[in-house]
Each structure stands twice: as structure tokens, then as C-alpha cells.
Structure 1
């Protein structure tokens, strides 16, 4: 399977963002896991939250149709009970196989003023096609206690919109996540001018594939790499 991290800009034009994302997904090979940056289609549209939430319903339907031979993951703005959530969707075989709302909202970006945190605290490992997948959304990378909840994952996804001033933090923490969990990490960060880029695919032993100039970053997933590292350096992960 291919692991693909998308590193794309998010414009104020929701439709343009959607067309770009769809074209990139279509261009990817079959049997790929594709991760888009945090809120890649609508951004942190604090002055357009209702519009973004309405648009997201269209997005969900259209992206789901592209997942017949791919696993696709992204976050978008969802409204429920008059509250807005930053919600991850994972699609496979034209189905929604997992949803997860962001728990840790970034106060420096005023997220806590506009979004509600997850109601269910449902950061967990999900199994798709025999592969154990977990997700931490952007700022959640910084919380070691959350890392405990995803021990044993084969692949950890991190959709992010991480600022350029903290680029080294993003890259260092992402690599540490792979090393500590002896897992593949797919880090997908925004390519907007004020964002850090740094998107990468990091293997369990710390090998990194990244390129700040590309929209599509690709590497092969090999379950044997996980098995070898966990045997060679046994820290109790299975």
C-alpha cells in the first residue's frame, strides 16, 4: 500500500479547494492511504462557520465516492446541536469507517472560542483492511498522555495546520511519534504561506520521506518494517 501525505494550500474559495483535492486523490494510485492537511477544504473559517458546515456535507458525499479503491482521511467543520466540531473522517470502500472530533483545541489560534471539543473523547485505534490506524489532529501531537491511547497502531495520521514559527517542533515531534510508537507516521501539514509545511512520511525506524516543494509525498507501507523494529528493539508493543 502507498502512504500519501498531501501538502496543499487552502484558499478562501471552498469549491476551488474541493476540486483541487479531488484531482489529487484521483491522480493517486489505487491501494493508497491519502491524508489531507487539517481543514484543507474550508480552513479556520471563523467568519463563515455555518457556510463551511453546510459545504462539508457536500464534501463528505463527494469524497466518499472516491474511496472505492483508496483510504482517504481529512478533517472538516461539522455542526451538531448548535455547536461546531473539527471532525476527522476516514473513508474506505465508499463508506465512512471512522469519525473523530478534535479534543485538544489550540488556544493561540482561538480554536476554543469557535469549536467545541470532542464529546466522546474517542481517540482510538481503528482497523481497516487488517491495518491498525490512529489519528492525532494537529495540536494533539503535543500531549504524551494521548500517545498512550494509540500504542500498537501500525499507522498514525496527523492532519495539521501548524504555524511556520513552530516548524522545528512539528518535524521533531512527528519523528518522535514514529520512534516511540515504532509505527509509520503520515504527517500532512498545510502549505499556506504562514504554515510550516514539513509534511512527511516517517518509518518506524525514523527514516523520513519529505519535500516542502511537493503537493504529494509518497512512500510504501511495509508491515514487516514494524515487525522487525518491534522485535529488534522490544519495548512491549505488539
Structure 2
């Protein structure tokens, strides 16, 4: 596909209440007015950013993943977002990318947020993921990963860098700056979807969900604090034209991740 339509959903989250969040997002999906290829939800979209993993963790074939498969099939669109998963006795902040046919790609958050003690509860992921979807190559990452540019480095010619997040208002200026920077330095589209509202710990979130083209120009509507649904169109021609003309990725330093 030469174009990919991506729907950003910036929303409040019901604290530690997966059923309420399923109901909420099912209703939101039904409001999407145009055909879309991919629907993006925030980080930990079933619970909010909680450390109460023992109580709230699900299995990879649990209720939320089954719900995602059902909704992806219903809307003929992939759905992505992260949730708390228990796997062989360990807890992960795991992003799921559920294709319309029900197949699944996953990514475990690499950089656990030490300031909130996430590293004490959740096991850090070790592997990058590159998702192939409708002829597009997508690199999914989660929230705090945004602060670490080496992990996002475009050595695999991906087309889209995708972040799902619960990024609080007090540090939202960093979110704005780093999303734009990741697009520019990787010559890729960069999309970040964040939540709004107060979480169960009283932390406010003001959204600032955004999508940038390969030159760092914002192609989504700047909407802060409010809940919104917006579908944007990504174009392969834009990527190919600018990479051919600029060739910045060819001049990158070469090193190996450990």
C-alpha cells in the first residue's frame, strides 16, 4: 500500500478497570467515521500506569487480547496498545499489535520507568520488534523508550516509529521535543499516542498525542487535554522522496547494541 491510514485515540483511562476500558474503547471505535488501517491506543490502556501487576495482569490469550482480536476483525483494522501481561511468572508491559485477521505481534517495553518503580515490578524487554503490515514496516516502542534514541535508531529502514504512552503533564515538553526529534533523526514518520485525565495516583495527563513526517513537520491536529479521535494518512512517496534526496541515514555512525 502506498498510503496507510492511522487513527490516533487520545483518551482518559478508567483506573485499574479493564472491563470499563473495553466498553469505553469499543464505543470510541464505533465513532471512527472513515476507513482506517491501524488504530492506536495509549500505554496500559486497560488499567492506566499502575504497578499493581499481581492483581491486574492478564495472559497473552486473555480477555483483553481476545477483545482486541474481535474489534480488529469488526473494524477491519489493526489495533495496538500495551497492557500488563504475566508470562512464566514474570510481569511485562507488553505492546500488542493485533492484525485484522487475528494474528499478533508483540513487543515488551525495554526501558522500565525507574522513577515510578516500574523496574521493581516489570521485567524489561530485550528485543526490538519490526512489524510488517500492509507493505509498511513499523517499529513499536513504549513511553519511556522515547528518551533513548539508540533504541529507536533506524538501521532497518522502518517506515513508522510508533510510541504508546502514559506521559504525565509535568514532563510533556520533553515528549513534544523528543517525538519530533525521533522523526527527524530517523527520517521516518513518528507517532506518539498519550492519555488524558487523572490517574489513580493523582497524576494529570494532557495528551499532546502527535504524528510527525520525516522532516519533523506535525501532520496531526495539536489538541491538548481533550479526548479526540483523528485519522491521518501516511504516504510512502514522502518517505522515499526525502530519503533519496537527503540520504542522512547513509551517513550514520555504525555500532552494535549490547
> Structure 2 length as normaliser, TM-score?
0.84
1:2 is paired with a residue whose SS is strand
Shift of 1:150: 5.5
Shift of 1:170: 0.3
Show the counterpart of 1:17: 21
Count the aligned residue pairs. Answer: 235
Show the counterpart of 1:211: 223
2:48 is paired with a residue whose SS is coil
Looking at structure 1, the residues matched to 51 and 227 of structure 2 have their Cα atoms a distance apart, in angstroms, of 28
Query: What is the 5 A alignment of 1:20-169?
Result: 20-28=24-32, 29-47=34-52, 49-53=54-58, 57-68=62-73, 69-118=76-125, 121-148=126-153, 151-169=156-174
Match of 1:2 among 1, 5, 11: 5
Shift of 1:106: 0.5
Looking at structure 2, the residues matched to 43 and 23 of structure 1 have their Cα atoms a distance apart, in angstroms, of 18
Looking at structure 1, the residues matched to 212 and 151 of structure 2 have their Cα atoms a distance apart, in angstroms, of 19
Q: Are 1:224 and 2:237 an aligned pair? A: yes
Asked whether the 8 Å contact 2:97–2:104 carries over to 1, the reply is: yes
Looking at structure 1, the residues matched to 56 and 151 of structure 2 have their Cα atoms a distance apart, in angstroms, of 32
Deviations 1:153-198 (A, max 9, x none): 1111100111111111001000111111111112101112312411
Query: What is the 5 A alignment of 1:171-182?
Result: 171-182=176-187
Q: Are 1:185 and 2:190 an aligned pair? A: yes
> Structure 1 length as normaliser, TM-score?
0.91
Deviations 1:88-111 (A, max 9, x none): 100112323311111110001110
- Please provide the CA RMSD for this pair: 2.0
Looking at structure 2, the residues matched to 233 and 55 of structure 1 have their Cα atoms a distance apart, in angstroms, of 42
Show the counterpart of 2:209: 199
Asked whether the 8 Å contact 1:164–1:195 carries over to 2, the reply is: yes
1:27 is paired with a residue whose SS is coil
Show the counterpart of 2:256: none
